[in-house]
Structures are given as structure tokens and as C-alpha cells.
A and B are shown apart, each in its own frame.
Chain A
């Protein structure tokens, strides 16, 4: 190994893949490095629900042998990664962060996991999350996940462990799932890159559902390139998810190399300059916009008046879907849910149908407003997922 061990842990997936390919780093040493860090740090951070040292090292040994014999290597060959425990892993317990599923062992990998493995990734383990990927968990059944930058601060959710593990150097990259911010929130809180892909771009097969029309797997990494590499590996049509897109998958890395010159970026007024946004956060967004302009992008302020309603619309729709998913367990195992989850699902179960329908129509209007804005801009930009700079401390210790 040529680089300092700690530096290696923070290099990120894309650079690690290059080092493995160039035989400068051994997949076995790399895997052991992350396992050692997990052993040392995760008692406090609780990023992982399940660690897989034996299978990870066995996979790493096979990866190393492939490098040494000059085999054709996948784009993530030898890169240790971890996944939110919402994704099925064949033969490995998949809890969705709930006691209700603590003994659930799937027979098949989720499609996203199978694709990361096919790209050469080495699965280190399963990551902590808010119960069933809903927010508001009061008592995490598998330990309170903590922000590595400050243990008294919230790491965000629902893909809490996915953000923590990347930020703390406990994996090369991770996979989360995003319905209403569950990748973007932990990425924002933990200071890493998180990407919610366009819905349907990534197969949902094997991911425990919350809302059929909003769930999507999404990558978290140390760099934008890492997120692009993971998305490249997992994107594309899957016959096991009939709603997955048949559109060809772009070459994301090539697109990154284009830079931002000429991009038209709309800064959303209601989310960036509204009274709820912390001044320091607003300042950071404005500074980011200035930097993008210096790099050749064109920014302007846009107004999306319906966007502030999106949160309540989301709750009415996604939570209603979730109530449908959990209908049977709410009847038979209500006491086994965390109190926060149970209350949220029970609330959702009681949303009047007329209001749910109204929210569904309002969502169509919000989407139309956003599509209209994107007809004039290449992308939109707003404050991060959180309005405030310092997330609240976890509720429980």
C-alpha cells in the first residue's frame, strides 16, 4: 500500500477503483482497513446494523485474484461499499430498521445491489436508517445513529447510516433510498454528496417500499464523481421493476467532464430567500451560485410559488402510500413499531380520501410548475435539505 491508511479511507470510490486497477492498493487490505475502522468507530456512530466481515473479505480475495490475473474489471472493482438496510441482500438479514423485520432474511438481492456487485463492489454491510425509512423514529431499534462531525447532532435520515458511513470513512461509498429527501438529508447533514436520481431511472426491485410513485435508490459518495460512478452502475431498465425507465442511460462521467460553462441555473426564490431559511445557509447558497458563475454558469432567481406546499402534499401522498404498505402490521403488530413510526402511520391511515385526492392533483400542478422552469433552465438550485445550519441533537441517547 502506498498511501497513508487513513487517507485511503477518505479517498472515495472512483479514486479507490483506479488505485485497485493500477495494483497500488489491494482490495483485501482496503476491505480490512474499513472493517478495522468500523470496529473502532461504529460503536459510537452506529452507522451499521449488520457488518459482513467474512463475506466481504472473501469477495475481496476474489477481487484481488482477478486483478492479479489481469481479468476484465468492473468500474467499481475492489471498492468496499455499504447499503441502507432497506435493500434486500440474499442470505443476509434485512431489517428496514424495524424490530418487525429483525429476522427477515431475503432469498434474492435487490437489483441495485446485484448491479453494484456486478460492477465489482465489495459489500461491507447493511446501514442504519429510520424505521421503515419514515422520519420521526424515537428509539432506533439497532442503535441511535450519530453525526460524525458532532455526536450530539442529528445525521439526517432516513438513510442515516449511508451518510454517516461515507462521512466517517467507514466505506468507499454507499447506497441509500430517497422518497422525500432520504438521501439528500443525510448527505447534507453529514457533508457528503447525495443524489436523488430521476424517479424510475433506478430499479426499486428489492427495496422495501414507502411510496410507489416517489421511492428511488440513490448513491452517496465523497465526491460528485463517486455519485456518478455509482449511479452509472445501478441505473437502467429492470424487468423486475415494470415502472423502471427504458430510456438509455447517459455516460454520467463524460457529462461531468463538460463542466458547468453555459449551464442555466435557476435559484428558487421561495426556498432560498424565504424567512424560514437560516441566514448562514442562505449565504452559503448565494456563495455557491457566485462560484458557479465564476466557472461560466449563468444563474438567475426564479419563482416557484407552489413549491412551499410540496412538503404537505408529500406527507398526504407518501404517508398514505406507506399506510397502505403497513396496513396488516398496524392491525397485528402495532406495539412492535417505534412510537414515532406508529403514530405517523396511524395518522396517515386516517387522511380523508378527498384530501388525498386534492393533494394528488396539487402534486401535478407542482410538477408542471417545475417542468416549466426547467424548460428555461438546465437545473434549479435551492438551499440544502435543511433550513438550519445546525441540526438538532438526537432525541434519544
Chain B
């Protein structure tokens, strides 16, 4: 995935909250790109074999 630019990140950010200062926006763009990159290996996993739910609830009683 190509890195997002501050302009691309700035548009949805402005819809969420008052316009972020430029240094905030630069940092947010950096963090978002880093997180997306860190999650790239997930695409190689058999994600379709599981449901996207946490392991919640008590285990079944024997």
C-alpha cells in the first residue's frame, strides 16, 4: 500500500475534529502509515478461517 500523504490524512481528520495543527497532522500521517505497514503481514494469514470476535465469555462447562 502506498504511503498516505498529509493531504490525504488531513481531509478525513478535518471531518472528525477541528483542523489539526500542521505538526500534529504530520505526526498522525507518520503514525498511520507505520501502523498500516506493521499490519501488512496480516494479509498472509488465513483470516477467512476465523470470525473477527474476541475470545469472550466463560468456557463451556464440562
Q: Which residues of A contact B (CB under 8 A)?
A: 199-200, 213-214, 243, 245-247, 306, 309, 311-313, 315-316, 327, 330-331, 334-335, 339, 342-344, 346-347, 349-352, 355, 357-365, 367-368, 371
Q: Are B18 and A365 in contact (CB under 8 A)?
A: no
Q: Are B43 and A346 in contact (CB under 8 A)?
A: no
User: With an 8 A cutoff between CB atoms, is B62 at the interface?
Assistant: no
Chain B residues within an 8 Å CB radius of A315:
35, 38
16 intermolecular pairs with C-beta atoms under 8 Å apart: A200-B56, A213-B54, A313-B42, A330-B16, A334-B17, A342-B24, A343-B31, A346-B13, A346-B28, A347-B31, A347-B32, A347-B35, A360-B53, A364-B50, A364-B53, A371-B55
Q: Are B39 and A312 in contact (CB under 8 A)?
A: yes
Q: Are A351 and B53 in contact (CB under 8 A)?
A: no
Q: Which residues of B contact A (CB under 8 A)?
A: 9, 12-13, 16-18, 20, 24, 27-28, 31-32, 35-36, 38-39, 41-43, 45-59
- CB-nearest residue of chain A to B4: A350
Chain B residues within an 8 Å CB radius of A327:
16
Chain B residues within an 8 Å CB radius of A359:
39, 42
- CB-nearest residue of chain B to A342: B24
CA separation between A364 and B54, bound complex, in Å? 6
CA separation between A355 and B34, bound complex, in Å? 13
CA separation between A313 and B59, bound complex, in Å? 24
The answer, among B27, B35, B52, for a CB contact under 8 Å with A364, is: B52
- CB-nearest residue of chain B to A357: B52
Nearest-CB distance from B50 to chain A (Å)? 4
